[in-house]
Amino acid sequence: MKIKELQEMMYNLYFHQDNKRGLFKTFMWLVEEVGELSRALKQEKLDKRKIAEEIADIIAWVCSLSNLLNIDLEKALFNKYPNICPKCGHNPCQCG
């Protein structure tokens, strides 16, 4: 699935709810999911299934925020990361 397709799917599934909730509360859901990922990563024995679910949740909430702001996430990612490091301009990154 391409990022644009994922963003469109999230729009179709959740935009009406996200729009009612508003930008700040939607952002707070994203922050909560990042916290859940943080807790999962701190465990001595990593549960990769749980970690994968939290990463998926984070990406979904980023899509929701992008939809609320009318940002084409795929385009924004490519503009920021055009197959080179945005800081050093190399691939692979040489910032080290």
Question: Is 38 part of a structural domain of the chain?
Answer: yes
Q: What is the DSSP letter of 34?
A: H
Q: Is 10 exposed, middle or buried (0-12, 13-18, 19+ CB in 10 A)?
A: buried
Question: Is 46 part of a structural domain of the chain?
Answer: yes
Question: Is 7 part of a structural domain of the chain?
Answer: yes
Question: Is 90 part of a structural domain of the chain?
Answer: no
Domain containing residue 73: CATH number: 1.10.287.1080
pTM over 0.75: yes
For residues 1-11, average pLDDT: 97
Q: What is the DSSP letter of 20?
A: H
Task: Supply the Cα-derived Rg of the chain in whole angstroms.
Answer: 16
Helix (H, G, I), strand (E, B) or coil at 55: helix
Q: What is the DSSP letter of 41?
A: H
Please write the tens of the pLDDT for every residue from 39-75. 999 999 999 999 999 999 999 999 999 999 999 999 9
Distance from C-alpha of 56 to C-alpha of 6, rounded to nearest angstrom: 11
